[in-house]
């Protein structure tokens, strides 16, 4: 079973167990206890949102195509995580789809921003750092495949694309992927002129 299916199955089991426990407590002890238990279940996500706020802000900037600001905030967050490694324990409070490791996600996202800024070689280094932290994280492999398409090495690109699929990422067929990567490359060329 792939990592994605395992994570989704685990998420579903946790949701079902939580609903069962909350219902049992509500029926057995009264609904006031249910509310208290519900608040306790919500608190871990609040911790993560507080300590990872720079990551989420940088992610929002990345999505809105503010690449320079996004990279700056991701780098600030990366320094914070690396200087406070115990903060990564909050990773276990999330149910990430492809990885739970916030540092690997940060490196991948910096790579995405750098690629959009036409910095292909530096983005490649960030994807490799993400893979070194979490080898089972498929998105950096997918993004490395884009880098290798840009570098005109379809063989290496296909290898990384296949690895991303084996790790659970089913973005598209390789042919659609090549078209998408070449469109991205065209956009990068236009931006640099």
The 10s digit of each residue's pLDDT in 24-79 is: 777 777 777 667 766 666 555 566 667 788 888 898 898 889 999 999 999 999 99
Across the range 107-136, mean pLDDT stands at 94
More confident call, 14 vs 125: 125
Across the range 93-112, mean pLDDT stands at 82
Query: What pLDDT does 190 receive?
Result: 46
Q: Is pLDDT above 60 for 21?
A: yes
- Find out whether 127 and 111 touch, Cβ atoms under 8 Å: yes
Q: DSSP H helical segments within 84-151, as ranges?
A: 102-116, 120-133, 138-150
Which of the residue ranges 62-71, 143-152, 178-187 would you say has the lowest mean pLDDT?
Answer: 178-187
Q: How far apart are CA 44 and CA 22, in angstroms?
A: 17
With a pLDDT cut of 90, the percent of the chain lying above it is 36
| Number of separate helices (H) and strands (E) present in the chain | 9, 0
pLDDT-derived band at 102 (thresholds 50, 70, 90) equals confident
Burial class (CB in 10 A: 0-12, 13-18, 19+), 70: buried
Coil, strand or helix at 125: helix
Other CB atoms within 10 A of residue 2 CB: 15
pLDDT per position as a tens digit, 130-139 = 999 999 999 9
Query: What pLDDT does 132 receive?
Result: 97
* E strands in the chain: none
Residues 6+ apart with CB under 8 A from 39: none
Q: How far apart are CA 3 and CA 19, in angstroms?
A: 24
Query: What pLDDT does 78 receive?
Result: 94
Q: Which residue has the tokens 């809105």?
A: 64
Q: How far apart are CA 153 and CA 163, in angstroms?
A: 16
């Amino acid at each position: 079973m792939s990592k994605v299916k395992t994570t989704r199955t685990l998420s579903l089991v946790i949701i079902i167990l939580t609903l069962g426990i909350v219902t049992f407590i509500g029926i057995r002890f009264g609904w006031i206890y249910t509310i208290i238990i519900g608040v306790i279940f919500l608190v871990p996500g609040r911790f993560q949102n507080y300590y990872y706020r720079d990551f989420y802000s940088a992610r929002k900037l990345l999505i809105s195509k503010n690449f320079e600001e996004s990279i700056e905030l991701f780098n600030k967050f990366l320094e914070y995580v690396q200087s406070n490694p115990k903060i990564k324990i909050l990773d276990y409070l999330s149910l990430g789809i492809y990885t739970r490791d916030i540092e690997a996600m940060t490196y991948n996202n910096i790579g995405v921003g750098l690629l959009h800024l036409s910095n292909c070689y530096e983005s490649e280094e960030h994807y490799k750092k993400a893979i070194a932290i979490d080898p089972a994280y498929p998105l950096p492999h997918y993004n490395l495949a884009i880098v290798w398409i840009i570098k005109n090495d379809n063989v290496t690109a296909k290898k990384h694309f296949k690895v991303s699929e084996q790790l659970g990422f089913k973005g598209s067929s390789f042919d659609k992927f090549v078209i998408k990567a070449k469109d991205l490359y065209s956009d990068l060329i236009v931006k640099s002129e």
